[in-house]
């Protein structure tokens, strides 16, 4: 397989490392699982260090929940899509036929393998410098530490119940895009106080969560 010797802002001195990181076990005997093992630990350490610096007063449990939010499979798969890793992953015929380059488990594993490859290619400092910007937007979007672990719909429900107000209703407004990359738009509506907000996401649930977050933002304003 021939791949460009760069990925996610890092130019590889040893292109074979990147090639291995982008090779699924279904495609070859030498594949990316060992690099994924290494990358998993590195991603955890890099994200943990960033959260430790960002929230100097956060408790251990809050930091742990924040890290889990950032390194969960779906979050890593979303990063892999942003880096356009899917089309670069070498898959066996069966995985290729079933759309494996879009599967979240394969994407997240490849992302971790790339991180492991960067570390072996250039060391920890270069690895952190390349990888940390990938997470910057997600870290910035995290709710305050005391709100971690509860999604927007749960927090909105608790806010309304504490004030003995009716629960919200959610409506799917639209869905667009190709089957493997759809965008959903949903609305969250309150009766008391009367309030409506919309949100978008890659699934109906994500769109509803975004709408609920928008309502919470309006209530806090």
Cβ neighbour number for residue 201 with a 10 Å cutoff: 17
For residue 94, CA distances in Å to 26, 31, 77, 99, 171 come to 8, 16, 20, 9, 38
Q: Is residue 112 annotated as a catalytic residue, yes or no?
A: yes
190 burial (CB, 10 Å; 0-12 / 13-18 / 19+) is buried
Q: Give the residues across from 187 on adjacent strands.
A: 171, 198
Given the structure tokens 């997240």, which residue do they identify?
Answer: 108
**Sign of torsion over alpha carbons 205, 208, 214, 216:** negative
Structure tokens at 159: 């806010």
40 assigned to active site: yes
Full strand arrangement of the beta sheet holding 183-190? 169-176, 183-190, 195-201
Catalytic residue among 19, 69, 95, 112: 112
Can you tell me the distance from the alpha carbon of 12 to that of 7, in angstroms, rounded to the nearest whole number? 8
- Residues labelled as active-site residues: 40, 112
């Amino acid at each position: 397989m021939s791949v460009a010797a760069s990925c996610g802002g890092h130019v590889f001195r040893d292109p074979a490392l990147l090639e291995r990181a982008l090779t699924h076990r279904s495609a070859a005997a030498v594949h990316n699982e060992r690099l994924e093992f290494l990358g998993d630990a590195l991603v955890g350490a890099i994200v943990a260090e960033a959260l430790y610096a960002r929230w100097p007063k956060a408790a251990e449990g809050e930091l742990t929940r924040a890290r889990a939010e950032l390194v969960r499979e779906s979050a890593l798969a979303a990063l892999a899509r942003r880096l356009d890793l899917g089309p670069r992953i070498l898959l066996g015929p069966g995985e290729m036929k079933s759309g494996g380059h879009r599967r979240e488990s394969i994407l997240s594993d490849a992302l971790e393998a790339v991180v492991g490859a960067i570390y072996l290619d250039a060391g920890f400092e270069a690895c952190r410098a390349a990888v940390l910007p990938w997470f910057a937007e997600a870290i910035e979007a995290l709710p305050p530490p005391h709100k971690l672990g509860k999604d927007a719909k749960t927090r909105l429900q608790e806010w309304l119940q504490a004030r003995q107000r009716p629960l919200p209703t959610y409506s799917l407004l639209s869905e667009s895009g190709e089957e493997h990359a759809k965008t959903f738009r949903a609305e969250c509506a309150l009766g008391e106080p009367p309030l409506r907000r919309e949100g978008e996401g890659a699934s109906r649930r994500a769109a509803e969560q975004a709408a609920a977050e928008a309502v919470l933002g309006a209530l806090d304003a």
